[in-house]
Each structure stands twice: as structure tokens, then as C-alpha cells.
Amino acid sequence: MTNTIKKLAVIGGTGLTELEGLEIIESKEVATPYGKPSGPLVFGKLDGKEVIFLARHGNPHRIPPHEVNYAANIFALKQEGVTSIIGVNAVGGIEYLMGPAHVVIPDQLIDYTHSRKNTYFEGEIDAVTHIDFSYPYTESVRQLLIDAAEAHDVAYSDYGVYACTQGPRLETAAEVARLERDGCHIIGMTGMPEAALAAELEIEYACLALVVNWAAGKTANIITMDEIDQAIDEGMGYVRQILVETIKQA
């Protein structure tokens, strides 16, 4: 398919604090009207294609989901001329087909977060603005991710409703049951307000999610960090394959 990506950024989540194979040209600390981003913007080339990488939780991984400065992160990328963002997210699986180490390219989300700065349209503004957020993920960017997964024969799902919860704690079994009744397939803590802020700045955005655990109550076991780390070790290679292929085709 014909793509329209002019300048691509990747925001890495848990398990992806750097992008292997990226030929680093520059690492730059930037300032924004909304404070400092999670870390320096890493400018580089991968297979000759320019890309900017930002570690959402910092490098090393130190910023919890509810304290990430999403507004600064997205604004910093906009300042550098980014037109499209791929957000990588570690998530829990609710849908029975979406177990640990499975890749999901969601097409919808529900926001359950609170107390996060979730808009640029506040304070002293010229006019009230309501963006259309019916479809939170840019279909053309989603299709690039889908094509990349197909090219590498990665097991993936090309649909899914992402439930974004506040964190940093994991959910109760009752909460997961409620989310399942709401129609959610995966649970994460970083999908919002990131996607909405990108939309407000007219940046294309898509999510590449890796399931790292079954959500609470989906098995008889409690969730452990060993389980999560094992799924990250197993599945992050698939994520990197998809990212590299997507960047090549972008």
C-alpha cells in the first residue's frame, strides 16, 4: 500500500528502552512548554530510514505510567517535525486468543485513567476545540504494522480494544471482569492520553502492543514479574522485527 509517513517516531515502553540496529546520529535533550520529556530524543537511521526514538519510561526504566509526562513527550516530537508515531506498549491479555508473548495491533481503546494531563486545549485558548476521536489509531499506520507482522510470520491480532487503566498497580480480578464486559481485549497503563494528545497535534498514531501476562482472574495463578519478564524476553524480538520492517517500508 502507499504510505504517507514523512517523519516517524517510535515511543518505546516496558522492555523497549532502545532500538537495536538504530544508527544513532544524535541524542538531544529538549524542552517544551509542558516540561521535559521522559528522556532525550534519539535521532538515527535504520536501514537508511530516519527515525526518532523516545523511551516512554526513561532509560533506565524509572518513570511509572501515571507520572509519564505524555504532553511533553508528544509536543517534543511535534517540535521535531514528526508526522507519525508508533507507540509500543506492554499489556495484559483478556481475550483468550491474546496470551503472553502475543502481538496485538489494536483498533480501539477505552480510557479509564484519571488525573493525567490529557489535553492541550485548556487554559488561555482562542476557542474551545473538540477533536474527532472516533477511531483513535491511524489506519494507514496500523496497516504498515500488520503488513510487517505478516512479512515476518509473527503471530498477531489485527484488532483489539485497549483498556487504559491508571496504574501503577495491576488490576483486581473483579476489575478485569468489568473490563471484559465493557468489550476490552487487552489492558495497559500508557495508551492514554498519549493517543489523544497525538491526535490533538494532528500526528498519525498507532499502537503496537505485546501481551506480557494474563490479566488478573484469567488464570488461577497470581501475576509475577518473572512471568512478565519471560514474556518480554520471548515476545520483544517479534516487536523489534515488526518495527524494523515497518521503518523500512515507511
Enumerate the known binding-site residues for substrate: 189, 213-215
**Positive or negative CA dihedral for 114, 116, 120, 125?**
positive
Annotated binding-site residues read: 14, 56-57, 189-190, 213-215
Q: Return d(Cα 162, Cα 184) in angstroms, integer.
A: 6
Cα three-residue angle 112-197-44, rounded to 5 degrees? 120
What is the full DSSP assignment across 215-228?
Answer: PTTSSSSPP-HHHH
C-alpha Rg value of the chain to the nearest Å: 17
Binding residues for phosphate: 14, 56-57, 190
Residues near 225 by Cβ (< 8 Å), separated by ≥ 6?
none
Q: CA 201 → CA 9, 40, 82, distances in Å?
A: 14, 20, 10
